Amino acid sequence: MTGRALTSIKRPAEPWRQRLIRSLLYGRNVDRAVKARARVGLAILLFAAIYAVLAGRLVMFAVGADSHGARRAGSQDAIATARPDIVDRNGEVLATDVKAPSLFGEPRRIIDKDEAIELLTAALPDLDEAEARTRLSSRKGFVWLKREITPKQQHDIHKLGIPGIGFLRENKRVYPTGAAVAHLIGLVNIDNQGIAGMEKWLDNNGLADLHRAGFATDRLQRPVELSIDLRVEHALRDELLKAKEKYKAKAASGLVSNVRTGEIVALVSLPDFDPNNPKEAHDPERINRLTTGVFEMGSTFKALTLAMALDSGKANLNTLYDGRGTLKFGKFTIHDTHPVGRAITLSEVFTFSSNVGAAKIALAQGVDAHKAFLKKLGQMDRLRTELPESASPIVPKRWSELNTITISFGHGIAVAPLQAVMGINACINGGLLIPPTFLKRSEEEARAMAKRVLRPETSDKMRYLMRLNAEIGTAKKADVKGYYIGGKTGTSEKVVNGRYSKKQVLNSFTAIIPADNPQYQLLVMLDEPKALPETHGFITSGWNAVPTGGKVIARIGPLLGIEPRFDLPPSDRLILAASRTTQ
């Protein structure tokens, strides 16, 4: 075949799909050699960019050892997680996070461990040398050496330039109010995890789960609003500190409760601790006595005994009881501190704080009715609130008539003071048992969860008795002019070596403000107060807890928005008569 014949053979036609792809890739009438050189140049630039990024990351790992990558290298070393702020009902910060540097090491990168330890212990005298040596001798990629160091310590160590030593900025929990709300707020551990109080409640109610899931890692979390009013808290704590010192008491505690919502507006238990320096928190004397401790509440329990009788319909304010002598039951003798020597009315049982009268009132109701009433008012079961720390009441295993006698005046049963406050709230707020809370709660929310335990007219009579006791009874020393308070005292002898001691007592005073239309209840407790010349040798509640309560009321009344009212009629006209006209 000739060349002319070869040239006359046609090449097969290029498929249309290939023509389309070639047109899109190269265009038309383009020099393919130029295009090839452009592609090679682009590939070189792309690879150069990739290697530049890798080189940059290597440099970051080398000189920026406090990066998140280094943090992840620790794998098993916990990192302090972020927590939401905790604020009082007015928005004042009670707990918040700040950033603090922590010192870590990367054992695989340390050249001379002995030199590193020598330099670090010189900069940090409190660094445990043996523990640091153990950690730096491990094969881990990351170990903690010292958590939460100061900026100056960070600066000094940074100047040493030790390879394999770096810093991480962690979340550190701080409490701006110090010890003021310590028992309520609680505290966290070194990893910023709640271990007590409302801090632990936060973790138990979803925060810990969020952290484990990798969420809530920053501080863009909604603050937790408590029911506490920091102003009222400071006033209550200040007066309790003064009373504890004045009466040489072993401990002092108190709280303010909103009787309509169950909100706890203030809670103080002394001695307390500073959660910023939590070593003292482990002292067994520094427990929260209002929720963790259980005590025989003494005569404040008579309020529940009389409410039981009035609500049953078997007694009224003028029902008479024999108060001429003692009450003998087997080998036990019940007597009154100030015997009247005559028959007394139910009202006088309250104002004279008669043990004999309270015992006879309870016996008239019967053992089963007494037990059922106390259970209905929440005194027989463990009280659950947001605070994880709570104790179960101590009740008789076998409840006899003797138990009913002693429990009628607050002996023989031990409850958490907050538990007693809940029961008394129900006696004076119209008869509604409302669970206490440390979170903000509206009256509508409280009514939705409330349980009716008393008739409204019974509550009216109890408010009358409380006010009458401030007018002519044992609570007179707390009757702050203008606030129309009501109150009940309690002095319970403590058990020492198996016997009740007359020299070691737990005093309590509960007040309602104001008595004709209660908004708040105040509880003040003094543990083992001593007699003073001004108390004439007495250590009973009326001489120490009651005047302390009066001072607290004078300070917190304006803070709670309670306007003073003067020249008000006595309780039989303002409370009792008004109650009769509405029935």
Tokens of 487: 């109150």
The beta-strand segments (E) located in 222-340 are: 224-225, 251-258, 264-270, 320-322, 327-329, 332-334
d(C-alpha 126, C-alpha 287), whole Å: 29
Whether residue 433 contacts residue 450, with contact meaning beta carbons closer than 8 Å, is answered with yes
Whether residue 281 contacts residue 196, with contact meaning beta carbons closer than 8 Å, is answered with yes
How crowded is residue 567: how many other Cβ atoms within 10 Å of its Cβ?
A: 5
Q: Which residues of 406-421 are buried (b: 16+ CB within 10 A; e: fewer)?
A: bbbbbbbbbbbbbbbb
Q: Which of 299, 354, 408, 571 is catalytic?
A: 299
d(C-alpha 4, C-alpha 17), whole Å: 32
Q: What is the DSSP letter of 113?
A: H
φ/ψ of 168, rounded to 5, equals -125, 140
Tokens of 350: 């309250």
d(C-alpha 384, C-alpha 111), whole Å: 56
The beta-strand segments (E) located in 184-246 are: 187-188, 194-196, 224-225
Whether residue 269 contacts residue 287, with contact meaning beta carbons closer than 8 Å, is answered with yes
Which amino acid is it at 250?
K
d(C-alpha 523, C-alpha 418), whole Å: 9
* Parallel, antiparallel or unpaired: strands 327-329 and 320-322: unpaired
d(C-alpha 286, C-alpha 278), whole Å: 11
Tokens of 229: 């009013």
CA 255 to chain centre: 13
Whether residue 119 contacts residue 127, with contact meaning beta carbons closer than 8 Å, is answered with no
Instruction: Note if 347 is an active site residue.
Output: no
Whether residue 296 contacts residue 412, with contact meaning beta carbons closer than 8 Å, is answered with yes
**Which of left, alpha, beta for 212 (phi over 0: left; psi -120 to 50: alpha)?**
alpha
φ/ψ of 503, rounded to 5, equals -100, -15
* Number of separate helices (H) and strands (E) present in the chain: 22, 18
The runs of H, that is alpha helices, within 382-509 are 401-408, 417-428, 443-449, 456-472
- How wide is the angle at C-alpha 461 spanned by C-alphas 456 and 466, nearest 5°? 125
Residues taking part in catalysis = 299
